[in-house]
């Protein structure tokens, strides 16, 4: 048993590529199956946990008359309600970057428990003028610290807040708005909200709540998107609506009572105002009469003051003339004095400049004298140094001559010694040659006579002596040679030294000559400088004499200037005294005149005040009469409102009305529906390839099975070996894939949806059922395959199994019978053709495996096409209208028509009534929008009614038109009858006249006459469809929506392109999910192709080795093997496209949610991409496996038969 166990692990190691392929395929297949199937439930669980953590309301109550604390208390006492919370809000506008943003302003209270806020940045409000803001739809155009100003959407609207300017102190998310792009609708601006914010509740001027949030513990225990939750929620909602009837009556009485009390208070205030107002008017009249008398007295006093001012002006004029004459004389004296002063200053400046020049000249002369003295000393020192260095140079020349003589003597001795050495060397070489010749002759003689011959011995001794003498001579020669070389080296060195010394002496002489020339030049320059110095010194003495003469002349002028200056100062003092006296008199005059002007101004002010008072008095009389009339009218209007007031009404809303709540559930449902089919086929393809791999492995190891049987191992032990191999690979891969897949795929898909929603904390649930089903079925299928394959093999005898299976008899394939093709094929082409059809099982399994992967890829692309077609087909092809307008009453219709024509005179429009009813048949029930059409001809232009398959145009002449998806859900067709439920016990039988192509929601279009027959009344239209060729630009559509919402009676405006953009955004995330499916299919295709190619190569090792032995190159062998793989890949890809079409159509119809019909067409590019992916992976696998072909050993592989 131990050896079998070792053999199992040895086999795993030997065939690790095959083991890993099975492991990977099982991991991908099971991981994809379990992961995608878990995604929908994980999405719902994630959302449910998010709602529970943030305590999102279950129901929301609103009333036409507002909600009070009494309503709040009544809701708290209702059965099934665990928590309630009142809230106030108002839809206002703020402006940022010249653009209006529709904003819903909510009240915030730190004690609020429901709809908990996630603060993303900053803090909560602490002051009344602080707010927190959500601006996801505005792409972060505002941030913490910014200020914004809120305004009413219309000047006629009363501003509902105490403050209008707020500082943003925080950014937040709330569970009421989980969508990142949708903010809901409003009745202001363009009809859609751009942002919402929370401000302290104390800012709101209203006393009642706008809405009350309700939560139930019973609902909290249930999953938010479950049927049980919906049933219990609807039950509680019914209770609240019943409660609302009673509370609405109470509220009506409260509102009427408050209104009557306000009228009574108003009448009392009116009487009081009349009395007080008349008294104020009488007091004002008395004050005006007193002011008129004071004005008359003031005019008389001002006339007398005017005469005194005229006399004063005359006296001041005479004094000013006298002073002016004196001032003229003083100014002339000052001008003359200033002229003389300027001359003195110029003279003084010239003297100062001359003195500076003389000082500079003296300094220059001193410096020149010093420079001349220094130069003379340097010249003397330089001449002395030249004399000393010339003496040293003469001594060096004498030494050089002596050295030259010694060198000549040494050179003669060297030449004599070298001649003697050459002579001795020639003698040595002659003796050596003679010795060699004698030794050769002696060797010849010894060869003939023998070494023992006496003569030979004697001659040998003589030769030895000669050899010794030659060696001694060689030693002497070598010594002499060394001495000669040493002598020659010394002579060469001495010659170099003498040459260097000669060069130094020559350089020294050149330097001394150059220095002497410099000395001579310096002496000449010194003499020239001395002459220049003497000349400049003489000029300096002349300048000193001229300076002294000028200074004496300047001193005389200065004395005359000072005398004139003193005389002028005396005259100026007399003038200043006169000016001071005049200023004193003039000030007295000005004071009097100022008093006069002030009096005139006071008189004019009094007159103006009198006139203003008179006007104010008259305005007061008019205003008093107007206010009395307005107050009386308000009281009368209040009485009329009480008479016309209707009862209040409660409205109960669910979470489904929150932006993004229902869409999130729809997205999860789409994933669940796709997961119902796509992963199953994915798993089947993976299982099929694994079955093929194991069955071929057992077939491949027939000889090993025979060997084990011959060694005495039982069938069960042998089978266990393959069973453990297969189960270990499948089980480990399946379990690992299941655990990774149940986290990876939900994470990737939910992360993709995270771009649309604010829910980011994901929750995962391990579903044992999915793991057991997927992993168990994969392991069981592979185990059964091994069992049957091994059992068939074990049925043979050891001797039979140990021999290779006899090859099948060759036979002609179909291609051989087509001569004009077969004859043109190369050798390898013919071999490949035979191999393809010779091994039919291998070909079939390979083609099926590749076809399955191609089908999965095409299905992914087809899903993407189907989803993307919805927007294009529905909003660009079927819906030809530009939009529709919902209005309040028929009295408002003409105003809407006028506004549409004013915007565009070419606008087409028609009315319709839209109501939602339940339609049922024997096969099911759906919620349907019943649309009553006023003008069928115009409406057929608004919507393209057509048959999807034939493209035939449909019309109301066929009768009632219903949408295609609704008929599929109800299992009906044209001519069948369905039941339309108006209310409990009130139904209508409706016959379907035609079925039209339609992709979003369910509609039943009824002509006006048919509607009257069914309902017994003319439709009360509430919608205007219009078509005006409006641009798709967002700014144009926003402007149009704003203009239409301003029309009286308009409730909402929906633009077709805006609805298509919203739906496209919702579908865009689905595209990302489909990309995940495509990538997963591609990964499976790669592993499948790798595994099948690896198995094919393993089975054909002997064949490949034989080709190598025959001399084929690696490139030729690779081409031979991979040609078959490429052909099979193309065949599998083409077959897979056909399978993919059927699979895609099946999954599309299965994955559709009830409210949406997917497109049914796959785009041509999707076929191309799916096929190219298969071909691309095939080529990549070929590149990888080419290395395995190169590694195949020719000898070892051919030994396998032995």
Pairwise CA distance, residues 253 & 249, whole Å: 6
For the chain, the domain total comes to: 4
Same-domain check for residues 394 and 364: yes
* Top-confidence residue, 1017 or 817: 1017
Lowest pLDDT segment from 410-414, 616-620, 1189-1193 = 616-620
Which of 599, 624, 650 finishes a domain? 599
pLDDT at residue 1094, as a whole number: 77
Same-domain check for residues 862 and 949: no
Residues 377-391 have pLDDT tens digits of: 777 777 777 777 777
pLDDT at residue 647, as a whole number: 66
pLDDT at residue 985, as a whole number: 59
Q: Which of 612-626, 956-970, 1033-1047 has the highest mean pLDDT?
A: 956-970
Q: Which residues fall within 8 angstroms of residue 1031, CB to CB, at 6 or more apart?
A: 1037
CB 60 within 8 A of CB 661: no
Tell me the average pLDDT across 869-893. 85
pLDDT at residue 911, as a whole number: 93
Q: Do the domain assignments include residue 796? A: yes
Tokens for 419?
A: 């001649």
Q: Do the domain assignments include residue 611? A: no
Determine the structural domain holding residue 704 and report its residue range. Answer: 1-56+659-757+771-803
* Top-confidence residue, 60 or 606: 60
Tokens for 898?
A: 């006028």
Dihedral sign (CA 48, 50, 54, 60): negative
Lowest pLDDT segment from 39-48, 746-755, 885-894, 941-950 = 746-755
The DSSP string of 113-180 is -SS--EEEEE----STTEEEEE-GGGTS-S-TT-EEEEE-SSTTSPP-BS--EEEEEEEEE-TT--BS
- pLDDT band for 977, please (50, 70, 90 cuts): very high
How many Å separate Cα 451 from the centre of its chain? 109
* Top-confidence residue, 50 or 401: 50
Strand partners, 192: 185
Strand partners, 925: 920
Q: How far is CA 890 from CA 382, 893, 933, 1021, 1046, in A?
A: 128, 5, 15, 7, 17
Do strands 1023-1027 and 209-215 pair parallel, antiparallel, or not at all (unpaired)?
Answer: unpaired
Q: How far is CA 983 from CA 298, 305, 916, 919, in A?
A: 90, 99, 11, 11
Q: Which of 33-47, 796-810, 821-835 has the highest mean pLDDT?
A: 33-47
How many Å separate Cα 190 from the centre of its chain? 29
Pairwise CA distance, residues 947 & 25, whole Å: 44
- pLDDT band for 538, please (50, 70, 90 cuts): confident
Pairwise CA distance, residues 43 & 1155, whole Å: 20
pLDDT at residue 266, as a whole number: 63
Give the rounded percent of residues in the chain with a pLDDT score beyond 90: 9
Pairwise CA distance, residues 630 & 428, whole Å: 157
Tell me the average pLDDT across 128-140. 77
pLDDT at residue 381, as a whole number: 75
Pairwise CA distance, residues 1165 & 1171, whole Å: 10
CB 214 within 8 A of CB 81: yes
Same-domain check for residues 540 and 398: yes
CB 778 within 8 A of CB 686: yes
Tell me the average pLDDT across 522-532. 75
Q: Is the pLDDT of residue 952 over 70?
A: yes
Pairwise CA distance, residues 814 & 837, whole Å: 9
Same-domain check for residues 876 and 955: no
pLDDT at residue 268, as a whole number: 67
Q: Is the pLDDT of residue 634 over 70?
A: no
* Top-confidence residue, 1015 or 310: 1015
The DSSP string of 595-662 is HHHHHHHHHHHHHHHHHHHHHHHHHHHHHHHHHHHHHHHHHHHHHHHHHHPPPP-EEEEEGGGSTTHH
Which of 599, 626, 644 finishes a domain? 599
pLDDT at residue 859, as a whole number: 85
Q: Please identify which residue in the block is written with the tokens 């209208």.
A: 881
Q: Do the domain assignments include residue 174? A: no
Give the rounded percent of residues in the chain with a pLDDT score beyond 70: 80
Residues 832-848 have pLDDT tens digits of: 666 666 667 677 777 88
Q: Is the pLDDT of residue 960 over 90?
A: yes
Do strands 908-920 and 977-983 pair parallel, antiparallel, or not at all (unpaired)?
Answer: antiparallel
Same-domain check for residues 1001 and 1071: no
Same-domain check for residues 1057 and 1016: no
Q: What share of the chain is helix, strand, coil (3-state, %, to 5)?
A: 70, 15, 15
Name the 3-class secondary structure at 413: helix
Name the 3-class secondary structure at 182: coil
Q: Do the domain assignments include residue 715? A: yes
CB 533 within 8 A of CB 372: yes
pLDDT at residue 962, as a whole number: 95
Q: Which residues fall within 8 angstroms of residue 1084, CB to CB, at 6 or more apart?
A: 25, 28, 29, 32, 682, 685, 686, 853, 856
Q: Do the domain assignments include residue 1170? A: yes
**What does the buried/exposed string (b/e) look like for 697-715 if buried means 16 or more CB atoms within 10 Å of the residue's CB?**
bbbebbebbbebbeeebee
Dihedral sign (CA 1078, 1081, 1083, 1085): negative
Residues in the chain: 1202
Q: Number of helices (H) and strands (E) in the chain: give both, helices first.
A: 24, 20
Same-domain check for residues 457 and 504: yes
Tokens for 534?
A: 């003497």
Q: Which residues fall within 8 angstroms of residue 796, CB to CB, at 6 or more apart?
A: 702, 706
Mean pLDDT taken over the chain:
79
Same-domain check for residues 786 and 831: no
Q: Do the domain assignments include residue 276? A: no
Q: Which of 665-674, 725-734, 845-854 has the highest mean pLDDT?
A: 725-734
pLDDT at residue 815, as a whole number: 66
Task: Please compute Rg for the chain using Cα positions.
Answer: 60
CB 742 within 8 A of CB 34: yes
Strands (E), 257-368: none
Residues 1138-1183 have pLDDT tens digits of: 988 988 888 777 767 677 788 888 899 999 998 998 888 888 888 8
pLDDT at residue 199, as a whole number: 92
Tokens for 262?
A: 């306000």
pLDDT at residue 1005, as a whole number: 95
**Angle at CA 92, nearest 5°, toward 87 and 98?**
145
- pLDDT band for 323, please (50, 70, 90 cuts): low
Strands (E), 900-1045: 908-920, 925-933, 960-963, 977-983, 986-996, 1003-1007, 1023-1027
Q: Please identify which residue in the block is written with the tokens 């270990």.
A: 728
CB 94 within 8 A of CB 187: no
Burial (CB count within 10 angstroms: exposed 0-12, middle 13-18, buried 19+), residue 252 = middle
Same-domain check for residues 926 and 1003: yes
Same-domain check for residues 1057 and 931: no
Measured in Å, how far apart are the chain's first and last C-alpha atoms?
26
Same-domain check for residues 942 and 1059: no
Q: Is the pLDDT of residue 886 over 60?
A: yes
Q: Which of 110-124, 278-292, 517-531, 773-787 has the highest mean pLDDT?
A: 110-124
Which of 550, 577, 599 finishes a domain? 599
Residue 484: CA count within 13 A, CB half-sphere: 16
Q: Is the pLDDT of residue 307 over 60?
A: yes
Name the 3-class secondary structure at 960: strand
Do strands 650-654 and 130-134 pair parallel, antiparallel, or not at all (unpaired)?
Answer: unpaired
Residues 247-273 have pLDDT tens digits of: 877 777 776 666 666 666 666 666 666
Strand partners, 1026: 883, 909
CB 244 within 8 A of CB 580: no
pLDDT at residue 277, as a whole number: 66
Q: Do the domain assignments include residue 138? A: no
pLDDT at residue 508, as a whole number: 74
pLDDT at residue 643, as a whole number: 54
Burial (CB count within 10 angstroms: exposed 0-12, middle 13-18, buried 19+), residue 1096 = buried
- pLDDT band for 106, please (50, 70, 90 cuts): very high
Q: Is the pLDDT of residue 99 over 80?
A: no
- pLDDT band for 630, please (50, 70, 90 cuts): low
- pLDDT band for 125, please (50, 70, 90 cuts): very high
Q: Is the pLDDT of residue 923 over 60?
A: yes
Report residue 45: phi and psi, to 5°: -65, -40
Residues 397-445 have pLDDT tens digits of: 777 777 777 777 777 777 777 788 788 778 778 878 887 877 777 777 6
Same-domain check for residues 747 and 848: no
Q: Which of 686-690, 891-895, 983-987 has the highest mean pLDDT?
A: 891-895
pLDDT at residue 249, as a whole number: 76
The DSSP string of 1135-1194 is HHHHHHHHHHHHHHHHH--TTB-------HHHHHHHHHHHHHHHHHHHHHHHHHHHH--H
pLDDT at residue 97, as a whole number: 64
* Top-confidence residue, 452 or 211: 211
Tokens for 1145?
A: 């159509």
pLDDT at residue 241, as a whole number: 85
* Top-confidence residue, 1053 or 836: 1053
Pairwise CA distance, residues 314 & 300, whole Å: 24
Q: Is the pLDDT of residue 678 over 70?
A: no
pLDDT at residue 139, as a whole number: 58
pLDDT at residue 596, as a whole number: 63
Question: Residue 704: which of 688, 717, 689, 690 has the closest Cα?
Answer: 717
Q: Which residues fall within 8 angstroms of residue 137, CB to CB, at 6 or more apart?
A: 180, 181, 183, 193, 194, 195
Q: Is the pLDDT of residue 240 over 80?
A: yes
Q: Do the domain assignments include residue 1127? A: yes
Tell me the average pLDDT across 1127-1137. 88
Lowest pLDDT segment from 234-238, 634-638, 1187-1191 = 634-638
pLDDT at residue 130, as a whole number: 92
Q: Is the pLDDT of residue 676 over 80?
A: no
Do strands 165-173 and 130-134 pair parallel, antiparallel, or not at all (unpaired)?
Answer: parallel
Helices 715-753 and 702-710: crossing angle in degrees, nearest 10, is: 140
Pairwise CA distance, residues 443 & 1056, whole Å: 128
Q: Is the pLDDT of residue 324 over 60?
A: yes
């Amino acid at each position: 048993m131990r050896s079998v166990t070792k053999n199992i692990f040895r086999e795993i190691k030997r065939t690790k590529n095959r083991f890993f392929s099975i492991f990977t395929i099982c991991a991908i297949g099971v991981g994809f199956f379990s992961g995608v199937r878990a995604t929908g439930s994980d999405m719902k669980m994630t959302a449910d946990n998010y709602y529970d953590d943030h305590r999102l309301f279950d129901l929301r109550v609103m009333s036409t008359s507002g909600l009070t604390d009494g309503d709040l208390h009544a809701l708290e006492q209702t059965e099934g309600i665990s928590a309630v919370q009142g809230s106030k809000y108002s839809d206002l506008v703020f402006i940022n970057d010249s653009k209006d943003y529709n904003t819903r302003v909510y009240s915030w209270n730190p004690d609020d428990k429901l709809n908990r806020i996630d603060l993303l940045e900053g803090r909560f409000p602490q002051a009344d003028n602080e707010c927190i803001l959500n601006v996801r739809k505005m792409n972060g155009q505002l941030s913490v610290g910014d200020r914004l100003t809120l305004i009413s959407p219309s000047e006629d609207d009363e501003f509902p807040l105490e403050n209008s300017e707020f500082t943003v102190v925080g950014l937040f998310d709330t569970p009421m708005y989980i969508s990142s792009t949708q903010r809901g609708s409003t009745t202001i601006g363009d009809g859609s909200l751009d942002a919402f914010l929370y401000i302290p509740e104390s800012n709101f001027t209203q006393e009642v709540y706008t809405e009350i949030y309700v939560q139930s513990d019973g609902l909290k225990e249930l999953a938010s998107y479950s049927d049980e939750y919906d049933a219990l929620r609807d039950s509680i909602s019914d209770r609240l609506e019943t409660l609302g009837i009673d509370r609405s009556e109470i509220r009506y009485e409260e509102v009427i009572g408050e209104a009557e009390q306000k009228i009574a208070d108003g009448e009392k205030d009116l009487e009081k105002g009349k009395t007080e107002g008349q008294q104020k008017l009488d007091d004002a009249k008395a004050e005006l009469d007193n002011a008129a008398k004071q004005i008359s007295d003031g005019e008389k006093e001002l006339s007398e003051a005017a005469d005194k001012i005229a006399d004063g002006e005359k006296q001041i004029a005479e004094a000013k003339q006298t002073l002016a004459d004196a001032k003229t004389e003083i100014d002339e004296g000052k001008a003359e004095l200033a002229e003389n002063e300027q001359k003195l200053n110029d003279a003084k400046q010239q003297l100062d400049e001359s003195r500076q020049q003389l000082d500079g000249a003296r300094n220059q002369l001193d410096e020149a004298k010093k420079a001349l003295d220094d130069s003379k000393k340097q010249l003397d020192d330089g001449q002395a140094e030249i004399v000393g260095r010339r003496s040293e140079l003469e001594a060096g020349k004498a030494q050089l001559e002596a050295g030259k003589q010694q060198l000549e003597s040494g050179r003669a001795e060297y030449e004599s010694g070298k001649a003697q050495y050459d002579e001795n060397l020639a003698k040595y070489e002659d003796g050596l040659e003679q010795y060699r010749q004698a030794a050769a002759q002696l060797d010849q003689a010894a060869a003939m006579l023998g070494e023992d011959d006496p003569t030979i011995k004697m001659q040998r001794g003589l030769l030895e002596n000669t050899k010794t003498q030659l060696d001694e001579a060689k030693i002497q020669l070598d010594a002499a040679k060394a001495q000669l070389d040493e002598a020659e080296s010394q002579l060469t060195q001495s010659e170099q030294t003498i040459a260097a010394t000669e060069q130094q002496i020559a350089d020294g002489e050149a330097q001394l000559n150059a220095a002497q020339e410099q000395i001579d030049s310096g002496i000449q320059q010194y003499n020239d400088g001395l002459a220049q110095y003497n000349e400049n010194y003489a000029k300096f003495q002349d300048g000193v004499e001229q300076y002294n003469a000028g200074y004496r002349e300047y001193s005389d002028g200065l004395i005359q200037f000072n005398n004139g200056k003193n005389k002028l100062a005396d005259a100026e003092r007399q003038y200043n005294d006169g000016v001071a006296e005049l200023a004193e008199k003039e000030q007295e005059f000005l004071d009097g005149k100022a008093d006069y002007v002030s009096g005139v101004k006071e008189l004019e002010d009094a007159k103006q005040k009198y006139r203003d008072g008179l006007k104010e008095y008259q305005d007061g009389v008019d205003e008093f009469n107007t206010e009395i009339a307005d107050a009386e009218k308000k009281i009368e209007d209040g009485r009329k409102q009480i008479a016309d007031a209707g009862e209040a009404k409660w409205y109960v809303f669910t979470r489904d009305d929150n932006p993004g709540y229902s869409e999130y559930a729809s997205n999860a449902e789409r994933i669940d529906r796709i997961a119902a089919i796509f992963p199953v086929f994915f798993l089947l393809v993976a299982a099929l390839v694994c079955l093929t791999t194991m069955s071929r492995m057992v077939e491949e190891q027939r000889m090993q099975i025979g060997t084990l049987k011959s060694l005495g191992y039982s069938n069960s032990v042998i089978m266990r070996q393959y069973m453990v191999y297969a189960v270990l690979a499948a089980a480990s891969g399946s379990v690992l894939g299941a655990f990774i897949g149940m986290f990876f795929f939900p994470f990737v898909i939910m992360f993709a949806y995270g771009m649309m929603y604010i829910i980011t904390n994901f929750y995962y649930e391990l579903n044992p059922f999915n793991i057991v089903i997927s992993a168990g079925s994969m392991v069981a299928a592979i185990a059964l395959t091994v069992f049957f394959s091994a059992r068939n093999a074990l049925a043979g005898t050891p001797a039979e199994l140990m021999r290779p299976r006899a090859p099948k008899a060759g036979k002609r394939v179909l291609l051989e019978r087509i001569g004009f093709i077969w004859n043109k094929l190369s050798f390898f082409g013919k071999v490949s053709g035979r191999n393809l059809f010779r091994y039919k099982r291998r070909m079939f399994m390979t083609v099926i495996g590749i076809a399955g992967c191609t089908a999965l890829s095409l299905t992914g692309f087809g899903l993407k096409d189907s989803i993307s077609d919805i927007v294009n087909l529905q909003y660009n092809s079927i819906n030809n209208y530009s939009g529709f307008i919902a209005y309040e009453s028929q009295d408002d219709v003409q105003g809407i028509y006028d506004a549409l024509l004013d915007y565009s005179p070419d606008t087409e429009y028609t009315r319709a009534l839209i109501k939602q009813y339940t339609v049922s048949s024997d096969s099911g029930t759906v919620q349907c929008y019943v649309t009553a059409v006023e003008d069928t001809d115009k409406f057929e232009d608004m919507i393209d009614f057509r048959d999807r398959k034939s493209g035939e145009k449909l019309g109301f002449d066929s009768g009632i038109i219903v949408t295609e998806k609704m008929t599929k859900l109800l299992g009906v067709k044209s001519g069948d009858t369905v039941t339309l439920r108006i209310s409990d016990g009130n139904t209508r039988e409706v016959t379907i006249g035609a079925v039209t192509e339609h992709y979003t929601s369910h509609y039943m279009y009824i002509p006006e006459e048919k509607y009257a027959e069914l309902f017994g009344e003319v439709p009360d239209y509430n919608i205007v469809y219009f078509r005006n060729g409006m641009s798709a630009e967002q700014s144009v559509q926003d402007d149009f929506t704003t203009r239409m919402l301003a029309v009286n009676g308009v409730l909402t405006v929906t633009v077709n392109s805006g609805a298509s953009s919203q739906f496209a955004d919702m579908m865009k995330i689905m595209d990302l999910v489909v990309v995940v499916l495509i990538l997963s299919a591609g990964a499976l295709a790669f592993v499948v192709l790798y595994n099948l190619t690896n198995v094919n190569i393993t089975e054909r090792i002997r064949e490949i080795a034989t080709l190598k032995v025959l001399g084929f190159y690696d490139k030729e062998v690779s081409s031979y093997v991979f040609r078959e793989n490429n052909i099979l890949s193309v065949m599998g890809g083409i077959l897979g496209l056909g399978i993919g079409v059927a699979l895609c159509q099946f999954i599309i119809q299965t994955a559709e949610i009830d409210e949406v019909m997917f497109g049914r067409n796959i785009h041509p590019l999707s076929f191309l991409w799916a096929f190219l992916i298969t071909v691309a992976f095939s080529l990549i696998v070929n590149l990888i496996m080419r290395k395995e072909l190169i590694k195949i050993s020719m000898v070892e592989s051919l030994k396998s038969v032995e």
